[in-house]
Chains A and B, each alone.
Chain A
């Protein structure tokens, strides 16, 4: 059946669109009669967006696609077209500034991209032409070209390895630039290649380009004149990726299969979707409000204008005749243009500069994260990384934290702790120091327990069943040390840096075996060498590796020993091994495994099987066939693996310890104290994960655990669905209905006497909840499940597939109130949830860089999360929230007097302020202080924030940007606007304000209002500033001084080229009037009075909540004396090959 399908695929579907055919060396092949050179894209990498020609239009188009820019453009155009009160310059200049700065920035970035592109594209490569290497630019490589690459060069495109200078037909590459894994990976040439590439006549069929770095299926047909075409299967182990670097290999030849933008690297660098922060949503909501205010103001004014004009003699008094043009315009057109004019007059209420300032604040503010020395990790020599600055403030809003376990909560730094062979436990060494007695101690203890044969078998299994490499420099050294005699101290350095593997568990196991006296010497041309107790070197031929994958949770190798025995060694999670071994063996070991798991160790079972010649032949054939498959190769391989890995016999089990990350418990405690709910999402088994949770103090002794796992579902002996139903309702009643009415979430007092619940769910149960079978009619399960989860202090989801992690995040994200979620993880399996959550944090762990690359922020260690959220997030949120509110506030009280003035000037759109003031207000006079504030403000000192996690709750749920505070700011702005306008108006009831009897005009009026405005608004910010650095002083007093200097300057000379000299000496005359001084001082004081008053009445934030954390850190230490952790098999690590 399988074969038939394979055959059909081989024979018929040559021209399927989902595969491509490549002619090696671009030579026609005998099998295809007509050689049509297939068209593929060239090897040019284009990451730039613009060319010189399309930069301007394209960039402008993209910029004006932003709604804000477009709005300002419209306003500008209205000003140009319609006769409006303010000149187009007032809004054109800021807009022009914004657009230009953005364009320059984007142009510069694009220029960098162009440069980088051309560096890559012009890189010289050698392409084999007529047997001779010819130099070419990298961009000229065509699909099918045979490319030569020498050591330490990066591959110019995706290549199929044809020939290597190494004898064993392998080459080593490092993919550091692709996924950050700096270890050397082995790639293999296409098997049985002939040496003469010139005469090679072959085609390669492979799938169409796809971004998965670790997947590749292809098939090579080699045509020889007298033979049938030979077929070789191609897998990821034959594919050399563009961007990877050749190591330890002098020279290779490869044929280009994917080029240019179709390479896996290029496909992987497609931009991420942009995340928007909650603050941005608030801004948009406020904008809408202000837009409504703006429009209603314009409508009111237009209406009033026509009401006023309808009175006798008001529309066109004799002293103020209309122009011919105005008289000729139709009434409705006039009304419309009047409306537009009012819009223009009031449009400063929605300022361009807010966007600029917000962007600048985010951009500059994010540097404080990268600069923070507390985030610097001496081990990896790196600090924090900010991939997007758009989400800074979101760090202060997190309600749910989803954390990975392996590598995040735990160090992913494995240490072999104990093993169990045939039911006997071996804990020969408790610390590394015991490795002195490698030869004697363990052996003697071994012999007391299981039989020597069993022990040897177990250790051989550990030595053989893995994909560990010995570092290239290592073997000589290692060998030299070990040939001489019993291993002693010199062994240790070699032991520490000798092995490279994608999974740290494997290294731990190999090292563990080494301590017991079995040393893995390396893999050379499919021969694995191990050194046994007698210091003899045993050689095994490696026949097959049945790779690890998270679904099977096990891996196997098939080796042939010198004596000709074919052996299969398999290691894997107990749940995947136990069903495949003889049941009577299981019982003896299961106990140990369970005990180890509850200790928090990662357990692993080892089994073996002796394959008869027939069995092996069948397995071999099956494997080869499956590997050749183009379609569904994974599934087919899986089927064969499952066939082979049966009826094994269990040898023993291992326990590996994974330490908790530094300060993991404190971090978790702080996060919980801050009102965040921590969910652990792991692929690991329940017992291990549970003990990690206890160690991290996510669960406490007092926590009542609610378990919704396969075990509890099946315990009742009823159908799973029924059980699920009962359990869900039972838990719901417990956790939700019986819970005190105090709202769950941030208000929940976590140290109260209420019973705490911890919820444990596993992947299978989750699948039942998320995708209930259609007949059970239980769509309610989801909401029940969610409610239970939300009412528990901590939730542990174990046995999760990566996709399920994302599913959970999505479910919480979309639940009622749309809480802000944060995902933190370090491995490729966390990428999906990192991308799904509002904020994705990558830990620069040991499992490669994929998580970091896809994250929004990357930190070296879990413990840094605490400062990132509690201090940085908190401060960023306060800063930006204040920034946004302040911007709306200052523009409302800026424009309100102008609006009020319309009632006293016949609604004629007469601006109150001079055009220069209108333009400069947001750009120069009031922008710098708020920017400095929003970068430097620390209402609460960082140390206090870190010590008092509960402070984080004060700003939860977007507290500073909800309608309440917004209303407060708006009312304040209206109050101040009214004071400004009417204060000066009453003063102007007698405009003779100078001691020489001379009078002030309308521009003096505006200037007095404006002066009061600038001072009030700046001093209001000064009142709010709780952290006065010299920069704040400089900027606040500086911009006030600048305003005064500018006003003197602006009114000080007759400006050439300006039509109007409205402000000539207005400011100076204002200052010469005592009344003006007095009114300015009075109005400033009066405007600030309510704020000062509220500042006193409102309790100062910060130091008032110190008791709770102190109490909690003292209370729960029953687990703190167990610093180490723990657990079982590396279910989650991703194996590369």
Chain B
């Protein structure tokens, strides 16, 4: 007789909450347990959003957010930032000539003078910025092989399919493969301080500590860990099509910054979120506490102009910036905090007024049983 009792719930998703209609023999259930859960009587905290509870919250948010916002805003304003577009779109620009060539292998050089009005007191971070460069294009983002970059030998000679069409060149596997690596930013930026007397002195640019520590030490690894003999390690591979030099010559002077663990390369490989972006290029260490890192005055930026951007209407910038605890200069956060804090405060006031005007009625109604 039970055989058919399951028919009742044959439909997909049609559950039966209890024993099936199998007749009284099976349906004779005992008295349900008197547990709080089964009787839906679990002890519960029953908060109700009333003006009384929310008003202090609004004021508190206002009182917390506004100072934070002011702090952020001030901090952001104190950050020195200097931006220099050296694309060379205008005829007057020193890099105009260089920008006219679209090809990769011209070692065109140009130098752009600029003046800093304010001194840069603490460490100065030099960024390069690109505009209208879609590093977040899907085809671009996925065109890499993390296994190869992690030093996996199998993928060194047989890169992932995702790297197409930058996977093989003349039947040689490309290392590092993919569009991201292939388009590595390769302008060389050199910064000179121009003394009032006209002499130039090069400012020392540190090229380490510009990439995430974990990237440099874990995510990116040269194959076999054999840093001394990178030439041999990479001998079965070829350099990306656009590169002048193979990957093991990215920084021949420093073995810890060569090959896949070259920091310029690692920084480039972290694809930017938006088509206008900046990437950390160099760091200018503060020498001593007395003189500013970059005193006000004239400077020259010497550029080995290799990176063509005119074809896609791109722009190239060099950015000098100091850094605070909140990162680079960005007034947005401060303004946003002040705005939200003020709105909360304002709402608190409005609610207070409403509460006072209509409070009697609602408090009467809210008396529970």
Q: How far is the CA of A944 from the CA of B30 in the complex (A)?
A: 28
Q: Is B290 an interface residue (CB 8 A)?
A: no
List the A side residues contacting B51 at CB < 8 Å.
Answer: 1096
List the A side residues contacting B72 at CB < 8 Å.
Answer: 1078
| A-binding segment of B13-21, B110-118, B188-196 | B13-21
CB distance from B182 to the nearest CB of A (A): 7
| B-binding segment of A371-379, A411-419, A955-963 | A371-379
| B-binding segment of A230-238, A966-974, A1027-1035 | A1027-1035
Chain A residues numbered 842-878 whose CB sits less than 8 Å from any CB in chain B:
849, 852-853
Whether B215 pairs with A180 at a CB distance below 8 angstroms is no
Q: How far is the CA of A1096 from the CA of B143 in the complex (A)?
A: 51
Q: Is A587 an interface residue (CB 8 A)?
A: no
Q: How far is the CA of A270 from the CA of B211 in the complex (A)?
A: 70
Q: Is B145 an interface residue (CB 8 A)?
A: yes
List the A side residues contacting B39 at CB < 8 Å.
Answer: 371-373
Chain B residues numbered 202-217 whose CB sits less than 8 Å from any CB in chain A:
209-212, 214-215
Q: How far is the CA of A574 from the CA of B267 in the complex (A)?
A: 99
Contact with B along A1001-1035 (1 / 0, CB 8 A): 11111100000000000000001001111111000
| B-binding segment of A485-493, A655-663, A1079-1087 | A1079-1087
Q: CB within 8 A of B5: which of A269, A372, A909, A1085?
A: A269
Name which of B28, B102, B127, B333 has the most chain A CB atoms within 10 A of its CB.
B333
Whether B3 pairs with A1004 at a CB distance below 8 angstroms is no
Whether B14 pairs with A1096 at a CB distance below 8 angstroms is no
Kindly report which residue of chain B lies nearest to residue A381, judged by CB atoms: B28
Q: CB within 8 A of A998: which of B280, B312, B351?
A: B280
Whether B32 pairs with A370 at a CB distance below 8 angstroms is yes
List the B side residues contacting A1103 at CB < 8 Å.
Answer: 365-369
Given A265-B4, A319-B183: A996 and B209 interface contact (C-beta under 8 Å) = yes
Whether B278 pairs with A990 at a CB distance below 8 angstroms is yes
| A-binding segment of B130-138, B226-234, B243-251 | B130-138
Contact with A along B4-26 (1 / 0, CB 8 A): 11111111111111110111110
CB distance from B65 to the nearest CB of A (A): 8
Q: Is A362 an interface residue (CB 8 A)?
A: yes
Given A987-B330, A999-B270, A1074-B325: A366 and B15 interface contact (C-beta under 8 Å) = yes
Chain B interface helix/strand/loop/mixed:
loop
Q: Is A815 an interface residue (CB 8 A)?
A: no
List the B side residues contacting A1060 at CB < 8 Å.
Answer: 142, 144, 146
List the B side residues contacting A332 at CB < 8 Å.
Answer: none
CB distance from B89 to the nearest CB of A (A): 14
CB distance from A1060 to the nearest CB of B (A): 5
List the B side residues contacting A904 at CB < 8 Å.
Answer: 136, 274-275
List the A side residues contacting B6 at CB < 8 Å.
Answer: 47, 109-110, 112-113, 116
List the B side residues contacting A314 at CB < 8 Å.
Answer: 134, 312
Q: Is B150 an interface residue (CB 8 A)?
A: yes
CB distance from B196 to the nearest CB of A (A): 30
CB distance from A396 to the nearest CB of B (A): 15
List the A side residues contacting B49 at CB < 8 Å.
Answer: 1023, 1092, 1095-1096, 1100
Given A852-B21, A1002-B136, A1029-B44: A997 and B312 interface contact (C-beta under 8 Å) = no
List the B side residues contacting A1005 at CB < 8 Å.
Answer: 273-274
Q: How far is the CA of A970 from the CA of B209 in the complex (A)?
A: 45
| B-binding segment of A382-390, A526-534, A773-781, A800-808 | A382-390
Kindly report which residue of chain B lies nearest to residue A180, judged by CB atoms: B24
Q: How far is the CA of A1100 from the CA of B53 in the complex (A)?
A: 13
| A-binding segment of B161-169, B253-261, B294-302 | B161-169
Q: Is A635 an interface residue (CB 8 A)?
A: no
Contact with B along A306-338 (1 / 0, CB 8 A): 000000111001111111110000000000000
Contact with A along B138-181 (1 / 0, CB 8 A): 11111111110010000000001010111000000000000100
List the A side residues contacting B209 at CB < 8 Å.
Answer: 996
CB distance from A100 to the nearest CB of B (A): 14
Interface size class of A (residues with CB under 8 A): 35 or more
Q: Is B68 an interface residue (CB 8 A)?
A: yes
Q: CB within 8 A of A322: which of B19, B147, B165, B324?
A: B165
CB distance from A643 to the nearest CB of B (A): 41
Q: CB within 8 A of B23: which of A180, A386, A985?
A: A180
CB distance from A209 to the nearest CB of B (A): 15
Kindly report which residue of chain B lies nearest to residue A245, judged by CB atoms: B1
Whether A323 pairs with B46 at a CB distance below 8 angstroms is no
Whether A371 pairs with B136 at a CB distance below 8 angstroms is no
Q: Is A467 an interface residue (CB 8 A)?
A: no
Q: Is A494 an interface residue (CB 8 A)?
A: no
Whether B40 pairs with A905 at a CB distance below 8 angstroms is no
Chain B residues numbered 24-60 whose CB sits less than 8 Å from any CB in chain A:
24-25, 27-34, 38-40, 42-51, 54, 57
Q: How far is the CA of A113 from the CA of B20 in the complex (A)?
A: 12
Q: How far is the CA of A1101 from the CA of B282 in the complex (A)?
A: 61
Whether B40 pairs with A269 at a CB distance below 8 angstroms is no
Given A113-B3, A389-B16, A938-B44: A372 and B138 interface contact (C-beta under 8 Å) = no
Q: Is B272 an interface residue (CB 8 A)?
A: yes
Q: Is A612 an interface residue (CB 8 A)?
A: no
Q: CB within 8 A of A176: which of B25, B267, B325?
A: B25
Q: CB within 8 A of A938: which of B38, B40, B125, B308?
A: B40
Whether B212 pairs with A998 at a CB distance below 8 angstroms is yes
Q: How far is the CA of A1085 from the CA of B312 in the complex (A)?
A: 40
Whether B218 pairs with A390 at a CB distance below 8 angstroms is no
Q: Is A631 an interface residue (CB 8 A)?
A: no
List the A side residues contacting B166 at CB < 8 Å.
Answer: 321
CB distance from B91 to the nearest CB of A (A): 21
Q: Is B304 an interface residue (CB 8 A)?
A: no
Q: CB within 8 A of A386: which of B16, B164, B211, B270?
A: B16
Whether A910 pairs with B218 at a CB distance below 8 angstroms is no
CB distance from B161 to the nearest CB of A (A): 9
Q: Is A594 an interface residue (CB 8 A)?
A: no
Contact with B along A1046-1074 (1 / 0, CB 8 A): 00000000100011111011001100011
Q: CB within 8 A of A274: which of B11, B146, B312, B329?
A: B11
Q: How far is the CA of A696 from the CA of B142 in the complex (A)?
A: 73
Chain A residues numbered 260-279 whose CB sits less than 8 Å from any CB in chain B:
265-266, 269-272, 274
Q: Is B63 an interface residue (CB 8 A)?
A: no
Q: Is A942 an interface residue (CB 8 A)?
A: yes
Given A373-B31, A905-B136, A1059-B145: A389 and B24 interface contact (C-beta under 8 Å) = no
Measured CB to CB, the residues of B under 8 A from A are 1-19, 21-25, 27-34, 38-40, 42-51, 54, 57, 61, 65, 68, 72, 102, 123, 125, 127, 133-147, 150, 160, 162, 164-166, 179, 182-183, 209-212, 214-215, 218-219, 242, 267, 270-275, 277-280, 283, 308, 311-313, 321, 323-330, 332-333, 336-337, 340, 343-344, 347, 351, 362, 365-369
The 7 closest A-B pairs by CB, nearest first: A386-B17, A319-B183, A992-B328, A366-B17, A269-B4, A1005-B273, A1095-B49
20 interchain pairs, CB-CB under 8 A: A45-B4, A66-B12, A102-B12, A269-B8, A271-B8, A314-B312, A322-B165, A385-B19, A387-B16, A908-B134, A908-B138, A986-B332, A992-B278, A995-B326, A997-B323, A1002-B136, A1027-B46, A1065-B212, A1069-B214, A1103-B367
Task: Known pairs A177-B23, A987-B332, A1086-B340; list 18 more (Cβ under 8 Å).
Answer: A177-B25, A180-B24, A265-B1, A368-B40, A370-B17, A381-B31, A382-B28, A383-B32, A387-B8, A389-B15, A390-B14, A909-B138, A990-B329, A991-B278, A997-B280, A1026-B48, A1032-B44, A1089-B347
Measured CB to CB, the residues of A under 8 A from B are 45, 47, 49, 62-63, 66, 85, 102, 106, 109-110, 112-113, 116-117, 119-121, 154, 176-178, 180, 182, 243, 265-266, 269-272, 274, 312-314, 317-325, 359, 362-363, 366-373, 376, 378, 381-383, 385-390, 849, 852-853, 904-906, 908-911, 936, 938, 942-944, 983, 985-1006, 1023, 1026-1032, 1054, 1058-1062, 1064-1065, 1068-1069, 1073-1075, 1078-1079, 1082, 1085-1086, 1089, 1092-1093, 1095-1096, 1099-1100, 1102-1104
